[in-house]
Structures are given as C-alpha cells and as structure tokens.
Structure 1
Amino acid sequence: MNKLRQIIRLYCQGTGTKTIHGMVGTSRTTVKKYVHVWHKLGITHDEFNEKSDNELSVLFTTPAAKTINSPRMQELELLHPGYCKRLKKKGVTREALHLEYIQQHPGGYARSRFNNAIDTYLQLSKPVMHIDHKSGDKMYIDFAGSKLQFHPADGHQCDAEVFVAILGCSQLTYVEAVESQRKEDLIKACENALHYFGGVPAAIVPDNLRSAVTKGSKYEAVLNDEFAAFAEHYAVTIIPARVYKPRDKALVEGAVKLIYRSIYQRLEGRRFNDLESLNAAIRSALEIHNNKPFSGRSYSRSEQFEEIEREALRVLNPIRYEVHKQVMVTVMKNGYIRLGEDIHYYSVPYTYIGKKVKVLYTSGIVQIYYHYTQIATHKRDRARYHYTTNKDHLASQHRFLTEWTPEKFIQEAEQIHEDVARYISQVLENKSYPEQAYKSCSGILSFARRVGPERLANACRWADNLSQYNYPVIEEILRKQLDQLQPEGEQVAIPSHKNIRGKEYYQ
C-alpha cells in the first residue's frame, strides 16, 4: 500500500506514468491501472489519504475493484450464476457457454478472459478449506476416468480399469490396471496397494462405487458387506466421500490427473498382451513418478514417505484376504444344498430342510449360515455332481443308510457264522453294483434276530448249494423250514412246488 500511496501522490503532483514507473519501481501497466481505478472512484487526494491500508486494498486490489464500472464485466457478472449452474450438467462445457455468450453479446470478452471471470466467480462463491493430512491417517482411492487397453492372443482389444491409491501425507501413489470395477477387483487392488505401501493407514476414503458402498449418504454411508469384511480383516476404517463432493477426495482426483501425464504418456503407443505385462509397465512408470522431486521442492514422494509416513502406518495382517462369494439357496429334501458354480452338493443338518440359507464360499472353504448362525462348514470340492457329507447332519435313518458298505455286511455276517459270511459275499458279487445288494444283505442278516444264527447258517448252505443268491430264496427256505432237513451230498433236491421249475421245463 505504500507504493500505491506514492503512485497516487506523484500522479496528483503532475508526474507522468513513465516517470512514476522509474521512481517507484512498479510496472507502467500497474501504475496506469491504479490511476484508472482512482479516477473511477471519484475521490480527492485528501479523501484517499484518510483511508486505511485495508480500505485501499479493498478498493484497488479486489476483483470487483479492478472491473469497477466496466459495462462488459458487469454484464458478464450478471450471467455468472446461470453459467456456473449449467456447468454442473453433463455435456455442458465452458467452450459451449462462451460461444453462446459471444452470439448474444458480440462485443463481449474473448475465451481466455471469459474463463478467468468464471474461475474468479467460482473461487469467491465456493471457498475451499485447506486440509492438513496427518502421517498414516488416510489412503484415498479411485478409478481413473480413462481406461488402458491390452490385446490377448485372439487379437481383440480389452479395456482395463485403472485403480489409483494415494497416501494423504506423503502423496506416495499406487497404480494398477484391473479387469473391472467389481468388488473382487477393487478389494484385490486395495490389498495390493496396502502391500505396496508396506502398512495400513487409519482409514480408506473411497468414492461412492457400488463395489464399495451399497447406499451413499451425506452423513453415514452403508458399506458393501464384502468391502466391510475386507476392512475388518485389515483393521482399517472406511470413510466414503460424500455424494457429489469430489473435494472430499481432491488429493486422489489430482493424482489421477498427474498419472495421465506421468504414466499414460509413457505407455502410449505400446502394445500389451495381458494384464500382467501392462501392470509391469505401469509399475516401472510409477517408480519414476514417485521418485521424481515435487515441483519447486528438493524431495520426492518416496523420500517424504520414508521420512515421515512409513513408521506411522500400522502393521499389515500377514494373512491375505480371500473374497467371499455369496449366494442364497434352499436346502433340498435330501438335506443338501447345491453350489451352482461347481455343481457340487454339501450337507447341512436335516432340521433345516426347506429353509433358505446363505452360502459364503472362498477358494478353499464353504460356510453355510441360517439367520447369521453358522450351521455347516465344508472344505470346498469342485468335483461336479458329487456330494460332500457330514454324517452328523443326516437324520438317523439316513445316517444308517450311509454306513452301508460291503465290508460292514461281511463283518456282521462273520459274527453270525462263516457260512453266512460266504453267502453274503456271493450276494454282493452277483450284483453289478454292490449298492443294489445292500437291502438284500440287510434283510438276510435280519433273520439272525428272528430265527437264530443256526437256522440262518443252514439256510445259507441250502441256498449256496442251489447257487441262488438273494433274499427271497433264504426267506422261502426258512418259511418252508427246509433248513432243518439234512442235505445229502453237494446237491439237495427241493420238494416239488408249483413255483419251482426243473430242467425239463426248458427243453
């Protein structure tokens, strides 16, 4: 303000602007501007001297003062609210607004001055708060608007989403190309970022992505269950940015703009066959970006991270997080649920037959829940159309059936008599599938409780002599009490009966 007072005093004394420029050391343009504003204000030199430095600052240096009584600027200022409101709409650009402005006001400002006026209005109408980022406090994440491409062996082009993470304090940046913005890819990229940084911040600030936030809110957003489980695994808080408030994560928005210049340009013109090769190239460019000194400073992001932020990060969970896929299914009547991805069946307690249950599964385990209570867990098996069974889940009658095996029947028969065991072995061998003979074996062995072991052993010897190996033959022998007759030799003739046909019948 001292120079301003000197300029006005010298001008009132009749000194020319060129001479004032040499005496005060201020550019002639600035001298002319101050003199112009003084004339527009219409005040005397004495009134000028009575004003304080603060009042003079307001009159001579604020944007309003610089354009005082300018008809063109006053005209444009009236249009600012409407223009800035329309700029929020998708597809509306400053260039389009300027063309409209020139058509309606042919003598208006050129595009550069028009844009500066818009910026000045936005800065005055929306003051921005400076945020001091504490070390180890927040990691901001987002996806870049522009995608990268890779070309698999079949030749078609695939688009890759570009994930960006940045630490608030040191501004150390992590970039990775992923297949999509699905929760599986988002969680994997977040986890890779934590491992790249070598620690866990106090909070992660995502945008309102569907893969991270189920329902956005100005006050408290609802997190996606899987992303919340990931945060719990690494003991980190998720603080989503407010809806339509990009300044909540301005740091990562700025990081995205920087990687367009520092990473995208380095990849331009190069061809990649898969995500792995694309990410390898990104990692090389990322190291250059992080190790490049800040503009106007003597240190880089990596140096600042090592100095002030690495020690502030918390220790990583040594166990990698596995994404839990989720599906709702109904327990079938046989007491199993069907995991559609593998077409494999898993048992649940039979009391839940007909109930809807939630299945959470990873690459190695299948967990089944009913109303937030875990009712079954199994090791994941990808064998199609197979069954994984926990015998404790089955009803008593079903559990008994699952215990039927050839060895079990032979062992039980041996406890009765060796002839019974030999006969049971023949029953099992004479069926294409042993399971077909299980009911016959069970029925034959039940005769030991009804008629006694001795009669059953005799009946088995009679049937064995006849080379008949099934339940009806034993039942008939015992019913006719043929087992009490003593067979003569190896072959014993059975008494005549209308249902028994001799060899003559087939002549």
Structure 2
Amino acid sequence: MMILWEEYRQVCPEGYGYSRFCELLRAFQQRLSPVMRQHHIAGDKLFVDYSGKRLGITDPATGEIRMAEIFVAVLGASNYTFAEVTWSQALPDWIGSHVQLLAHLNGVPRLLVPDNLKSGVNKASFYDPEINRSYGRMTAHYDVGVLPARPKKPRDKAAVEAGVRFAQTYILGRLRNQTFFSLDEANAAVGMVMAQMNTRPMRKLGVSRADLLETLDRPALRPLPPTDYEYAEWKLVRVGLDYHVEVEGFYYSVPHALIRQQVDARITSSTVELFQKGQRIAAHQRRYGGARRHGTKVEHMPAAHRHYAEWSPERFERWAAQIGPNTQGLIIAILARRPHPEQGFRTCMGVLRLYKGLEKARAESVSAYALAIGALNSKSVASILTHNLDLVVPAEEGASIDSHANVRGPLYFH
C-alpha cells in the first residue's frame, strides 16, 4: 500500500495521510470480487516485465534524448527486485536482460513468469500459450520453465507489477535530476538505486529484500550452467559464385563446393556460424567495420584461388630479388603505384612470367629500361622484350632515350 500511497501523493500532494488512505483502500477492496491470495515458494517463480515508463539517454554529440526501456524482475518469495536499462523490448535485449538477471542472482528458479510480451510469448492463451522460439532456446539452456501470466489476469503477476511501480517511483524518482550519456552510465546508476531499495527494510516485515533473498530464495535456486546463453539470430542465405555468403553487409566464406546452395547462418554478437543440414561447415569472427568486408579462409578456396591468396608484396619482392636488383626495383615500383598493393599482384605475376626461362642478365636489362621510362605494366615490359628496346639503348648508359629514332615515348607503353 505504501507504493500506492506514494503515487497518490505525487498526484494529490494535499491528499489523505497514509493511515486514512489505507482505511479507504481496504473499504474499497471489500466491495470487490474475492481473490485468491498468492503464496510463493522459495526459488520457485521469477516474474519478468518492462516498466511502462522509460528513461532518457542523451546523445553527447547532438544533445538528442533517446528513450530507453527498463526491464524489471521480481523473485516471488523474497520480493528481491532487479532492473536493467536497454534500448528496446526486442528479442536481443529481452533475452540479454534475462542472461544478466540470472548471472546477477547466481542461480536459476524453477519458473519464469513473463507478461504476454511478444518477445517472450507469440500467442497468449489461457490453456496453451505459445512461447517464442528464441526465448524457448534461452530457457532450455538454463533448464527453466516458462509460465506466462494469464491474459487479463493482473494478479498472476502482482509481484512484478509492484516491482514495476517501484521502478517508476523509487528508481526514476531518485534519478529524475540526473543526465545520462550512455546505457552504461544509466545502468550503473540504476544498479546503485536498486541496491539501496533491496537493502532497505520493508515496512511491515522489518527485513530487507536482500536479507530474504539470502535466507529464502538463493538456497532454493538451482546452479547456473557452465556458460552464459548467447543470443543468436538464424538466417537462410545463399552461397555466391565467390563462395561467400552475405550477412549484414559483410561476406563470409564457406567451402567452394557449396556454390549456389542455401545454408543456415547462426549470427551472434561475436561470431557467424554456417550450417548445412545441421552440420557446421564454417565459423568466422563477426565483422562490424573496417575496410575489409570479406572474411575468407584459405581452406575454403579452390586450389587456383588458394595459390593466389598466398601472394603478398613481400613474396613478389623476394621472387624478383632472385633475378636481380633492377627486377626487384621494378616490382616495388609496380606495387607502390597502386593505392592497394593487391591491385598490382597480377601485373607482378605477368612480368615475372615474361622472365621465365630468360637469362638473368637480360631480365635485369629489360627491368632497368622499364624503370627508366616508367613502363610499370606487363604489356609495356613485354613490348620492350619483344622489340629488344633495352638492347638498342641500354638504360644504364644514361643516354637520352627520347632522342633515339627507334624508341617511342613512355606514354606509348601505358
């Protein structure tokens, strides 16, 4: 009744005192239909819901205020209350709050009692409520049952309703003059207020919720599983001709034999796993940004592509150095000319193939000539080699190349 009276006085500051308010409320209750008193067994039920009121988070860059949701949970026997601020009531936040809640309690109750929120219950029914599949996977991980509150039966969740009102009065009332710039800041403040509320002795019982948690609920809670549940989304994707699948704008490789086939992607905050017919075929660290939008594993490539994947600037430079310093200099110049060295790999390979079976001295002569006139592509190097241009005017003599009658200008080779 204290919560109701506090809310009443917020609306009517000059209204009835607490004692008179309780007398009038009891008189009103006597005129209502009889109700069944709820008896809660220790460690049995954990009630979960969202507060009807939200908390504002300020964007430090723009000053814009974004409203965040308040997830509330109450243990039936001890009335111990947990709260967390999230951006939404969507499945990732809903399930994530459950994971944080159970970790906070360091134990698992027998039953979860959610309101008929879409994230938890697909179809509300008195006899056969339909549990959301993703929510069901989470509860299976913790081996906890789900007993949704009956539609239009608020007394089924009276404990969480009281906790929600506390979140709106006790928590929000104490934080109303604070400004938060992130969810972490808001949750740190909510955590402190919740600790104060749970350790404050309750008016009629003379003990706190935290005391009752330790003496009633916690000994009856079952142990947590070895690992926390990680929320995952599933998506059906098709393998492209480049043996990659697209997930949220990034691309992840699978074995190349699966080109054009459909596979299942399991997406968590940290990983992307790919399955075919229930068997995992690939796993990647999830990408969120950066210049590289492809996650490619060498073992997924065909043999020809695998050979190409082993190319690197250092490797081409080492190959060129085995021929001589002029050839190494030519390869370095080709790679340096491109914004990304990978763009010059094929040119480097083309030049080095031109030198296959050629005497090192001749290859060095061609490379020196190509460097002198800035001929930094395989077509130009091939022309030098075919027309023996490096032999007509050796590059090392330092003569004016442009003045020779048989030599075209450098632009001819680009």
Which residue is equivalent to 1:219?
A: 128
Superposition pairs of residues 137-216 of structure 1, within 5 angstroms: 137-144=44-51, 146-150=52-56, 152=58, 158-216=66-124
AA partner of residue 136 (structure 1): G
Secondary structure at the aligned position of 1:423 is classed as: helix
> How far off is 1:307 after superposition?
1.9
Residues 406-485 of structure 1 aligned to structure 2 (within 5 Å): 406-412=313-319, 418-419=323-324, 422-423=326-327, 425-430=329-334, 432-433=337-338, 434-435=341-342, 437-446=344-353, 452=357, 455-457=358-360, 459-464=362-367, 466-467=369-370, 471=378
Offset, 1:157: 5.5
CA distance in 2, matches of 1:137, 1:423: 78
Which of structures 1 and 2 has the larger relative contact order (alpha carbons within 8 angstroms, sep 6+)? Answer: 2
Deviation at 1:329, TM superposition (A): 4.5
**Equivalent position of 2:213 in the other structure:** 305
> Is residue 81–residue 194 contact of structure 2 (8 Å, CA) maintained in 1?
no
Distance in 1 separating the partners of 2:229 and 2:329? 52
Within-5 A mapping of 1:249-398: 249-257=157-165, 259=166, 263=170, 267=173, 270-274=176-180, 276-277=185-186, 280=189, 283-284=192-193, 287-288=196-197, 291-293=200-202, 295=204, 297-317=205-225, 319-324=227-232, 328-340=236-248, 343-386=249-292, 387-398=294-305
1:349 partner amino acid = P
Paired residue type of 2:196: E
Query: Contact 1:272 / 1:278 at 8 angstroms: preserved in 2?
Result: no
Structure 1: tracts of 5 or more residues without a match: 1-111, 492-498
SS at match of 1:119: coil
Does structure 2 retain, via aligned residues, the 8 Å contact 1:331–1:354? yes
The C-alpha deviation readout for 1:278-314, integer Å capped at 9, x for no partner, is 763674366345643463x454433333223222223
Q: CA deviation at 1:211?
A: 1.8
CA separation of 1:198 and 1:478: change in aligned 2, threshold 3 A: closer
Taking the aligned partners of 1:196 and 1:142, their CA distance within structure 2 comes to 17
8 Å Cα contact 2:47-2:75 kept in structure 1: yes
In 2: Cα distance, 1:448 partner to 1:160 partner:
66
Instruction: Indicate the SS of the match to 2:176.
Output: coil
Cα deviation, 1:394-447, whole Å, max 9, x if unaligned, reads 2222222222234333444566xx34x743542442461354553344345446
Instruction: State the AA in 1 paired with 2:360.
Output: A
Shift of 1:390: 0.9
8 Å contact from structure 1 (residues 368, 375) kept in 2: yes
In structure 1, the residue matched to 2:5 is: none
Q: Specify which of 136, 139, 145 is matched with residue 43 of structure 2.
A: 136
Which moves more between the two structures, 393-402 or 457-466? Answer: 457-466
1:352 is aligned with what amino acid?
L
Cα RMSD of the aligned pairs, angstroms, is 4.5
The residue identity in structure 1 corresponding to 2:333 is: E
| Distance of 2:395 and 2:277 partners within structure 1 | 70
Q: Is the 8 A contact 1:205 1:249 kept in 2?
A: yes
Structure 1 pair 502/186, CA: closer, same or farther in 2 (3 Å)? closer
Report the Cα offset of residue 147 of structure 1. Answer: 0.5
What SS is found at the alignment partner of 2:346?
helix
Q: 1:334 to 1:173 in 2, by over 3 A?
A: same
1:119-130 alignment, distance < 5 Å: 119-120=32-33, 123=34, 128=36
Secondary structure class of the residue paired with 2:122: strand
Answer yes or no: is the 8 Å Cα contact 1:141–1:206 preserved in 2.
Answer: yes
Q: 1:457 to 1:244 in 2, by over 3 A?
A: same
TM-score between both structures, scaled by the size of structure 1: 0.58
- Structure 1 residue 459, shift from structure 2 partner: 4.0
Q: Which residue of 1 aligns with 2:146?
A: 238
Per-residue deviation at 1:380? 3.2
Kindly state the Cα deviation for residue 141 of structure 1 after the two structures are TM-superposed.
Answer: 0.9
Q: Larger % of helix: which? A: 1
Secondary structure, aligned partner of 1:219: coil
